[in-house]
Amino acid sequence: MKIKLLVIMLAGVMLAGCTFKSTESIDLGMQSIENSDYEGALSYFEQAQENGEDTELMLRGRGIAKMGLSDYEGAVEDLREALNASGGKVSYAEYDTAFYLATALFKSGKPEEAIETYNAILDFEENNPDAYFLRGKAELSLGRYDEASKDFELAISYAPSDPTLYINIYECMEAEGYADEAKGYLKTAMELKNINEYQKGVLYYWLGDYNNAKGCLESANSAKGDPNVILYLGRTYEALGDKSYAASLYSSYLKDFPEDANICNQLGLCQIDNGEYQEALAAFQQGIAVPNNEMMQSLKYNEIVAYEYLSNFKQASLLMEAYLKEYPTDEAAKREYIFLKTR
């Protein structure tokens, strides 16, 4: 699951009864975040600090901007400082900052600390389905299946009619190797009354009913601008064996939205399956050229794989050496590097 950052605009705001002074540089920084201009946002927050603007809001905004730049360690530091600067008060602003902090902790490889933060959030609001789901996701990453399952059930108990929640739980469990155990969530979601064509298509896809998935996703793709629909529609065609058409879907989308790193990665994987390794390499490199995207590690690893398929083992070895400096905990990459050094 991708966690979309929530941006709260701060111009003249009143959050949960706590009034904050409206500050020009902070407001401009938050507007930059909304426009995905994270570097620009950091410049505004630096100016806010120089101007003596609200410390808590400045640190909070800076932490969110660093998350946008995938600097999760830096984000953790700023978000913690923002909470410390709150002076002990607990309002929606601090509650929201804690959500960002938990996400940054999880993404920086600290699931235990993320769980502790979700515990605090749930102490503040015990009926929040997002907090239960995200805590369950962190627990599952640590191999705590029973604890995760309890949290997923609690999340559903507070949002029983949300089909996206069921899909997110399934995708989370599938990624950790529990696809069979998670099938029940898909079947329950399929019975909901408020399900749309995209959600129904995703459910059919994960249930392995690709023909029905294709029909629903084609219907959902009428606007032809939703990357989630494109991703699952393409995957559906791949599963049906029509990888050439899937590649054309991804390529057509990227003509209009060339900086969608997720679609770049999927196109590259599809091209590798098609045996079109040079085209796959180009797709991965297109994604890598998108700064600060969340797919960067996958894209860089897949770029190495593409060079291997092209029998350019020297370049693959050089890139793997650089990759392991950036991602030193990837054990599979370490084993692959040993192989590459023998070629």
Give the β-pairing of 18-19 and 14-15.
antiparallel
pLDDT in tens, 275-286: 999 999 999 999
Enter the tokens of residue 98. Answer: 């804690």
d(CA 153, CA 136): 9
Exposure string for 101-123, b = 16+ CB within 10 A, e = fewer: bbbbbbbbebbebbbebbeebbe
Domain boundaries, the chain: 1-107, 262-343
Hunting for tokens 């950091």 — which residue is that? 42
117: Cα separation from own chain's centroid:
19
Asked whether residue 94 carries a pLDDT value surpassing 50, the answer given is yes
d(CA 253, CA 247): 10
d(CA 178, CA 188): 17
Kindly indicate the confidence band of residue 342, based on its pLDDT and cuts at 50, 70 and 90. confident
- The confidence score (pLDDT) of residue 11 equals 31
Single out the residue of 324, 261, 265 nearest to residue 294, CA to CA. Answer: 261
Single out the residue of 227, 228, 1, 28 nearest to residue 103, CA to CA. Answer: 1
In 10 A of CB 231, how many CB atoms?
A: 20
Q: What is the pTM of this model?
A: 0.81
d(CA 48, CA 26): 6
CA dihedral sign of residues 154, 6, 107, 168:
positive
What is the CATH architecture assignment of 1-107? Alpha Horseshoe (1.25)
DSSP code for 37: -
Q: Which residues is 14 bridged to in the sheet? A: 19
Per CATH, the number for 262-343 is 1.25.40.10
pLDDT in tens, 17-33: 344 455 789 999 999 99
d(CA 191, CA 66): 40
Is-same-fold flag (1-107; 262-343)? yes
Kindly indicate the confidence band of residue 213, based on its pLDDT and cuts at 50, 70 and 90. very high
- The confidence score (pLDDT) of residue 14 equals 32
